[in-house]
């Protein structure tokens, strides 16, 4: 993992329709570690800025391994230590309807980005992106999956997600 600051270049995003909520979907493989963390962090950032009524935030997985389950207990512990409550979230599998409904679909890694593109219409490709290019302090393109790793990986994921979530929010709010 590299901790090099990215350039502050604005990343073009699908336009925000000010008459309705902007809808974001965070996606990883099983929807029990990275994507619920990203959704929880982003939602808290919105609440802190009193913007939660302007956005709809959700998470899903490209695989149905954990449908209906709460986020991994290690993920929940690491998130709770930083003030994020993920306990109410439940894993679900992304659907083609999600790709129609959400304005921006953010994959945690390239494999899941490819999986999303396989179930999408080519016209939807522009709104399916990697999440980490929004980070300003990490040069990584992907959020690593901590599921099979050691405990510290969950803290690293939160570091990366907080950075990318802040950059994403700034990109969405800057005209």
d(CA 27, CA 61): 5
33 given a catalytic annotation: no
Of the candidates 28, 72, 98, 129, the residue annotated as catalytic is 28
Of the candidates 34, 58, 109, 163, the residue annotated as catalytic is 34
Q: Are 138 and 158 in contact (CB under 8 A)?
A: no
d(CA 50, CA 158): 22
CA 133 to each of CA 6, 45, 101, 112, 125: distance values in angstroms, whole numbers, following the listed order:
8, 18, 23, 15, 16
Residue 20 token pair: 């309705």
145 given a catalytic annotation: yes
Of the candidates 103, 140, 145, 163, the residue annotated as catalytic is 145
Query: What residues are annotated to the active site?
Result: 28, 34, 145
């Amino acid at each position: 993992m590299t901790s090099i600051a990215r350039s502050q270049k604005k990343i073009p995003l699908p336009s925000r329709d000010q008459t309705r909520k902007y809808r974001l979907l965070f996606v990883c493989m099983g929807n029990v570690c990275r994507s619920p963390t990203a959704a929880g962090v982003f939602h808290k950032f919105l609440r802190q800025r009193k913007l939660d009524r302007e956005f709809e935030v959700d998470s899903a997985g490209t695989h149905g391994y954990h449908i209906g389950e709460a986020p991994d207990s290690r993920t929940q512990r690491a998130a709770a230590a930083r003030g994020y409550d993920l306990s109410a979230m439940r894993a679900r599998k992304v659907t083609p309807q999600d790709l129609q409904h959400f304005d921006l679909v953010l994959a945690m890694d390239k494999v899941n980005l490819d999986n999303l593109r396989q179930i999408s219409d080519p016209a939807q490709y522009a709104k399916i992106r990697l999440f980490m290019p929004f980070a300003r302090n990490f040069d990584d393109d992907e959020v690593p999956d901590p599921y099979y790793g050691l405990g510290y990986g969950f803290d690293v994921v939160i570091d990366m997600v907080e950075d990318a979530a802040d950059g994403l929010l700034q990109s969405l709010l800057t005209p």
